[in-house]
C-alpha cells in the first residue's frame, strides 16, 4: 500500500542550526513528492515539490528513489521556520494526494 | 482574491445528528478534496472529485458522503455523527495548470459530543 512516513512528531533545534525533516514513502510507481507547511493561524500551503528542484525559504529536498526518501533540509534554521510540516505523495498522473503524519518544527532562540 | 471557503468554521453537534460541511471555491479548479486532520495522524483523504460527475473514495470514507453540486461546490456530510469524527476538516482544490499544488481552505473544526 502507498504510504508516507514522517518518523518525528516533534523536532526542536536552535536558531542557526541545520534542520532535516525526514520523509520516507512506499510506492511502486513514479511518485511525485511535496512538502507542505502550516504556520500558526495560516492555511496549509505548498513549500516545495521535487519536480521543481528549487529552494524555497532556504529549504531544499532531494528525491532519493533508492532509499525512497524525500527529506527536507535547511542549513541554518530561523525562528520563523517554526511550523507544522507535512510530506505528501501523489501517484503519478492521478492527482490523488496522501500525506504523512506531520512533523512539528520548533526553532529555539 | 480567488479563494477556497469552508463553512461553518466551527461546529459542535451531538451524536446521531446529521451535519454538513460546505466548501466553495472561486479558483475555477476542477479537482476538489476533503481531508480530516487529527493529532498524530496527519491529514487523511476522505473523498475527492475531479469534476461534477466524478466522485472517488479516499482512505477513510466510511461514515461520510459527499456531493459535488457544481464545479465550485463540494459538500461533506456526516449522516449520523459519532464522537470519533471529532476533527479538523479541510477542503482543498487543485488544477492541472498548477502542477500538483493543493490549495487549502481554512478548515472546519467539528466537535461531536
pLDDT tens track for A58-104: 999 988 888 999 999 999 999 999 999 999 998 766 778 889 999 99
> Three-state DSSP class for A51?
helix
Residue B46 has pLDDT above 90, yes or no: yes
Q: Across the interface, do A98 and B45 touch by the CB < 8 Å criterion?
A: yes
Minimal Cβ distance to B99: which of A51, A100, A101: A51
For residue A101, list chain B residues with Cβ-Cβ distance below 8 A.
40-42
**Which residues of chain B neighbour A34 with C-beta distances below 8 Å?**
100-101
Query: What per-residue confidence (pLDDT) applies to A19?
Result: 97
Mean pLDDT of the B69-97 span: 94
A44 falls in which pLDDT band (50, 70, 90)?
A: very high
pLDDT at B1 over 80: no
Q: Would you state the pLDDT for residue A30?
A: 79
Task: Tell me what pLDDT residue B40 has.
Answer: 86
**A34 in Cβ contact with A87 (< 8 Å):** yes
Percentage of chain B beyond pLDDT 90 is 86
Say which of A9, A45, A90 has its CB closest to residue B100.
A90
- B40 neighbourhood in chain A, CB within 8 Å: 9, 101
Which of B48, B106, B107 is facing A96, going by the closest CB pair? B48
Amino acid at each position: 500500500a502507498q504510504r508516507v512516513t514522517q518518523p518525528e512528531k516533534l523536532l526542536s533545534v536552535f536558531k542557526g542550526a541545520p534542520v532535516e525533516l525526514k520523509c520516507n514513502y512506499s510506492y511502486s510507481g513514479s511518485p511525485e513528492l511535496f512538502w507542505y507547511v502550516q504556520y500558526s493561524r495560516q492555511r496549509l500551503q505548498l513549500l516545495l515539490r521535487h519536480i521543481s528542484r528549487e529552494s524555497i525559504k532556504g529549504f531544499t529536498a532531494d528525491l532519493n528513489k533508492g532509499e525512497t526518501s524525500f527529506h527536507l533540509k535547511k542549513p541554518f534554521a530561523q525562528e520563523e521556520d517554526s511550523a507544522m510540516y507535512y510530506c505528501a505523495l501523489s501517484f503519478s498522473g492521478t492527482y490523488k494526494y496522501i500525506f504523512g503524519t506531520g512533523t512539528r518544527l520548533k526553532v529555539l532562540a | 482574491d480567488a479563494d477556497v471557503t469552508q463553512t461553518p468554521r466551527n461546529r459542535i453537534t451531538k451524536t446521531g445528528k446529521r451535519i454538513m460541511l460546505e466548501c466553495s471555491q472561486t479558483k475555477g479548479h476542477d479537482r476538489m478534496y476533503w481531508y480530516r486532520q487529527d493529532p498524530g495522524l496527519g491529514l487523511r483523504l476522505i473523498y475527492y472529485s475531479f469534476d461534477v460527475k466524478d466522485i472517488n473514495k479516499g482512505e477513510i470514507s466510511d461514515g461520510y458522503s459527499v456531493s459535488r453540486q457544481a464545479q465550485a461546490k463540494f459538500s461533506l456530510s456526516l449522516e449520523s455523527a459519532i464522537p470519533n469524527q471529532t476533527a479538523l476538516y479541510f477542503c482543498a482544490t487543485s488544477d492541472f495548470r498548477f502542477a500538483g499544488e493543493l490549495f487549502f481552505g481554512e478548515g472546519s473544526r467539528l466537535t461531536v459530543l
